[in-house]
């Protein structure tokens, strides 16, 4: 008996040894294959739960961007082909009935060729309404016999980004693609804030072969509250579109301008209330080039060319493009000189229409000259000669110091993706006297719209430079505040007293009738200050211009600032700042009542009639002003501004020794820089008491004869008499 037990024990031990050896060889030879099978099973039983990307809302809570739950239709071929394939036909019939977009022939082919596959997406981003009927059918189908039961279809949760206002604020918002990746604007800048963390659903078998699940929930992204007001944004975009349509194909084929931009800001906080440029694109379909190019043009593009075209469409003109500011820079020169003590602000200078600087003659836009002007009148009439004298009193070193204090050439660090660095496009210590001369009136250096708007805020609010921002608050998915983004003062550029003097000077630009270059920007019933600008683009001989106007209301206590820039307006004579001033007037006429900024000025009969034409109901006591229509007509009939359009000389370098200096632009006319002697013999009659301009052409009028003068030669045009006479 003992021998038998020993033998039996030996045999059992041998069996275990053989089994261990067998397991060793199995693991060695087939371990990776079995491991993949286990991982495959785990991936099926372990399902990712997507997070919801946070919303972007405006200052009043209106959703500008949000994520809506959608579903991907998944096919499990292994389950579909189980039980010898009896579920295939019922399932195909059901899919064909409830999901018209799914190619059931392709589904059949895939299932038959891949019977072990457990995951294949056959339809993406289906809203719940599209799958509800199938889910109800599937629930009813559970009681069917095996041969009639559907199997192998399930739905994976996902989210789709929605932009309920279409193209509204497209440049500012940006968009998402792929795995919740933000591109441009707020979507990119706050990408990590808007994104959350995926969760996971784990499935496992208990000892009783029962499937149990444990869930690690997803963490949804945070919501960002922007400073944008959807209604103000809509008003701005409506008028930009209206301007473009009004001038479409006027002087050349294309939109009303290469670019049109507008920024509305609160000058006392740095908050951006609206930021828009035209043309715009559809946020729901950002890769659609059809609104901008013909089918033939798109068909002729390769992938790289298409991407370049898309980047041009997506580019935010307000923060990504630079240009010479022209005469909108003049108040900064005067403010710098007053703040530095170089001038008091009550000095007078004589303008004969030009000033000799080194080897150059730099002309004022009014070649006939304005006579003796105070500094304030120099701003009002936009006299380059006055500004050059102010800059010379200040000196180049101190001019550079204040230019940098106002942040020109540097990023504002606004919380938007895509802001350009223009540090290489401004003057440096190598600038000469000619550079200082043209720089005094905004020529020879580049800025962005957001740089100018932010600098203007400090110019008029007492000298406080606020960092511009587009987001005021970050909230979690439950609505609790995670972070408050308060207005941030970075520095003080000028004193409060200097700021007050500059506000008064810029008030005269708009409020002193046609004596000022910005009179046509004023919304009826309001006081406004501001400055016009017209800058000739490089190359100077192409006669392409950027016209602009920066204004604020009320003039004595600014509550809102508007900056409008039009790049190459599609008109015959581009050097006309009234294009920017009237666009500003149209926009502000609607924005101010909406913001509860009430009228303080008595309306004239013409203004009252004009407001009625614009379908705006303004009460005379300025207490209840309501918008009645989305359309607004913005025409003011009065004397025209100057439109000389004088051509410019060759481009100026940073060295005064170069032969030719650049042309400056202003208002309706162009400043020119010529070699000494180039303008000798020009007609200079009528320089006292101001110059009148022909309303029909914008050309200057000889005060003695009443004849219209040729803007290039300043000689009378034969047979001409001003329509203003």
For residue 548, which of 653, 434, 422, 456 has the smallest C-alpha distance?
456
Residue-wise pLDDT for 522-532, tens only, equals 999 999 999 99
For residue 530, which of 560, 566, 503, 495 has the smallest C-alpha distance?
503
Neighbours of 113 (CB within 10 A): 9
* Coil/strand/helix, residue 544: coil
Query: Kindly report the CA angle at 116 between 115 and 120, in degrees rounded to 5?
Result: 85
**Two structure tokens written together for 401:** 């110091």
Judge whether 537 and 334 are in contact, CB under 8 Å: no
563: CB partners within 8 A, 6+ apart = 262, 263, 265, 449, 452, 453, 456, 548, 549, 550, 551
Task: Give me the numbers of helices (H) and strands (E) for the chain, helices first please.
Answer: 22, 28
Q: Where does 554-596 show beta strands of DSSP type E?
A: 560-569
Q: Report the pLDDT value the prediction gives residue 333, as an integer from 0 to 100.
A: 97
The segments of the chain whose pLDDT lies below 70 read 31-46, 143-147, 203-212, 615-725
Class of CATH domain 318-627: alpha beta
Q: Which helix (H) or strand (E) holds 13?
A: helix 2-45
DSSP-H helix ranges across 115-229: 128-141, 170-173, 185-189, 191-194
For residue 529, whether the previous peptide bond is cis, meaning omega lies within 30 degrees of 0, is no
CA 720 to CA 387: how far, in whole Å? 33
Judge whether 721 and 706 are in contact, CB under 8 Å: yes
Q: Where does 316-417 show beta strands of DSSP type E?
A: 348-351, 354-357, 360-363, 371-374
11: CB partners within 8 A, 6+ apart = none
Q: Strands 223-226 and 56-57: what pairing?
A: parallel
CA 721 to CA 574: how far, in whole Å? 24
**Two structure tokens written together for 76:** 């499990």
Q: Report the pLDDT value the prediction gives residue 628, as an integer from 0 to 100.
A: 33
DSSP-derived letter for residue 434 is: H
Residue-wise pLDDT for 452-502, tens only, equals 999 999 999 999 999 999 999 999 999 999 999 999 999 999 999 999 999
Assigned architecture for domain 48-226: Alpha-Beta Complex (3.90)
CA 360 to CA 371: how far, in whole Å? 21
Whole-angstrom CA distances from 344 to 273, 274, 404, 437, 564 are 35, 36, 22, 20, 30
Judge whether 670 and 536 are in contact, CB under 8 Å: yes
* 85-88 long-range Cβ contacts below 8 angstroms, 24+ apart: 86/146, 86/147, 87/146, 87/149, 87/150, 87/151, 87/152
Report CA 483 to chain centroid distance, whole Å. 24
Domain boundaries, the chain: 48-226, 284-315, 318-627, 701-725
DSSP-derived letter for residue 146 is: G
Q: Report the pLDDT value the prediction gives residue 637, as an integer from 0 to 100.
A: 35
* Coil/strand/helix, residue 26: helix
Q: Which helix (H) or strand (E) holds 93?
A: helix 88-98
For residue 312, whether the previous peptide bond is cis, meaning omega lies within 30 degrees of 0, is no
Strand partners, 669: 666
* Coil/strand/helix, residue 211: strand
For residue 195, which of 49, 47, 55 has the smallest C-alpha distance?
55
Residue-wise pLDDT for 228-270, tens only, equals 999 999 999 999 999 999 999 999 999 999 999 999 999 999 9
For residue 554, whether the previous peptide bond is cis, meaning omega lies within 30 degrees of 0, is yes
Q: Report the pLDDT value the prediction gives residue 262, as an integer from 0 to 100.
A: 98
Residue-wise pLDDT for 366-408, tens only, equals 888 889 999 999 999 999 999 999 999 999 999 999 999 999 9
Task: Return the exposure string of 603-635: e unless at least 16 CB atoms fall within 10 Å of the residue's CB, then b.
Answer: beeebeebbeebebebeeebeebebeeeebebe
480: CB partners within 8 A, 6+ apart = none
Judge whether 276 and 244 are in contact, CB under 8 Å: no
454: CB partners within 8 A, 6+ apart = 265, 270, 407, 412, 465, 466, 467, 468
* Coil/strand/helix, residue 62: coil
pTM: 0.78
CA 496 to CA 518: how far, in whole Å? 24
CA 494 to CA 459: how far, in whole Å? 7
Judge whether 550 and 563 are in contact, CB under 8 Å: yes
* Coil/strand/helix, residue 617: strand
């Amino acid at each position: 008996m003992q021998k038998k037990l020993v033998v039996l024990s030996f045999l059992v031990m041998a069996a275990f040894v053989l089994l261990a050896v067998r397991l060793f060889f199995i693991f060695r030879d087939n371990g990776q294959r079995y491991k993949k099978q286990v991982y495959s099973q785990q991936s099926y039983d372990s399902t990712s739960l997507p997070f919801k990307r946070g919303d972007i809302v405006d200052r009043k809570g209106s959703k500008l961007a949000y994520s809506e739950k959608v579903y991907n239709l998944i096919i499990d071929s292994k389950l579909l082909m189980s039980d010898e394939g009896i579920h295939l036909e019922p399932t195909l019939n059901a899919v064909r009935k409830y999901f018209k977009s799914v190619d059931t022939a392709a589904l059949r082919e895939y299932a038959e060729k891949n019977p072990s596959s457990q995951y294949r997406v056959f339809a993406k981003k289906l809203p719940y309404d599209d799958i509800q009927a199938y889910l109800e059918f599937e629930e009813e189908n559970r009681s069917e016999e095996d041969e009639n039961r559907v199997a192998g279809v399930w739905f994976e949760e996902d989210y789709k980004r929605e932009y309920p206002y279409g193209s509204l604020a497209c440049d500012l918002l940006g968009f998402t693609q792929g795995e919740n990746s933000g591109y441009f604007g707020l979507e990119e800048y706050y990408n990590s804030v808007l994104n959350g963390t995926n969760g996971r659903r784990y499935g496992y078998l208990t000892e009783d072969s029962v499937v149990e699940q444990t869930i690690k929930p997803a963490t949804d992204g945070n919501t960002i509250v922007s400073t944008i007001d959807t209604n103000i944004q809509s008003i701005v975009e409506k008028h930009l579109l209206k301007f473009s349509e009004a001038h479409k194909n006027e002087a050349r084929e294309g939109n009303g301008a290469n670019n049109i931009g507008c920024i509305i800001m609160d000058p006392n906080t740095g908050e951006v209330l609206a930021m828009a440029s035209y043309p715009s694109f559809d946020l729901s379909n950002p890769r659609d080039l059809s609104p901008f190019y013909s089918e033939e043009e798109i068909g002729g593009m390769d992938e790289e060319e298409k991407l370049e075209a898309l980047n041009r469409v997506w580019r935010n003109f307000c923060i990504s493009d630079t240009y010479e500011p022209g005469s909108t820079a003049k108040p900064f020169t005067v403010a710098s000189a007053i703040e530095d003590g170089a001038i008091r602000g009550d000095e007078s200078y004589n303008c004969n229409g030009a000033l000799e600087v080194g080897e150059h003659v730099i002309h004022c836009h009014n070649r006939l000259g304005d006579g003796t002007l105070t500094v304030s009148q120099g701003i009002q009439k936009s006299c380059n000669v006055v500004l050059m004298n102010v800059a010379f009193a200040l000196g180049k070193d101190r001019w550079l110091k204040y230019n940098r204090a106002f942040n020109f050439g540097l990023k504002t660090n606004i919380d938007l993706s895509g802001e350009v660095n223009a540090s290489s496009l401004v003057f440096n210590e190598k600038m000469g006297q000619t550079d200082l001369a043209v720089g005094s009136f905004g020529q020879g250096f580049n800025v962005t719209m957001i740089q100018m708007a932010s600098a203007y805020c400090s110019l008029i609010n007492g000298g406080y430079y606020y960092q511009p921002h587009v987001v005021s608050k970050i909230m979690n998915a439950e609505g609790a505040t995670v972070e408050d983004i308060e207005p941030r003062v970075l520095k003080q550029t000028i004193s409060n007293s200097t700021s007050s003097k500059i506000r008064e000077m810029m008030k005269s630009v708009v409020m002193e009738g046609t004596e000022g270059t910005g009179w046509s920007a004023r919304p009826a019933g309001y006081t406004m200050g501001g400055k016009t600008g017209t800058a000739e683009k490089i190359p100077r001989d192409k006669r392409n211009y950027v016209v602009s106007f920066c204004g604020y209301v009320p003039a004595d206590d600014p509550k809102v600032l508007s900056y409008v820039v039009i790049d190459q307006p599609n008109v015959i004579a581009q050097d006309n700042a009234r294009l920017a001033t009237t666009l500003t007037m149209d926009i502000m006429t609607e924005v101010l009542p909406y913001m509860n900024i009430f009228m303080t000025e008595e309306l004239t009969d013409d203004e009252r009639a004009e407001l009625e034409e614009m379908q705006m109901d303004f009460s005379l006591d300025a207490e209840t002003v309501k918008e009645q229509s989305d359309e607004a007509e913005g025409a003011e009939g009065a004397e025209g501004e100057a439109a000389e359009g004088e051509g410019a000389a060759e481009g100026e370098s940073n060295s005064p020794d170069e032969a030719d200096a650049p042309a400056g632009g202003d208002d309706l006319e162009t400043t020119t820089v010529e070699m000494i002697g180039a303008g000798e013999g020009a007609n200079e009659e009528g320089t006292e008491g101001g110059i009148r301009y022909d309303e029909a052409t914008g050309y200057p009028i000889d005060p003695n004869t009443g004849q219209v003068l040729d803007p290039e030669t300043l000689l009378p045009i034969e047979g001409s008499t001003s329509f203003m006479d």
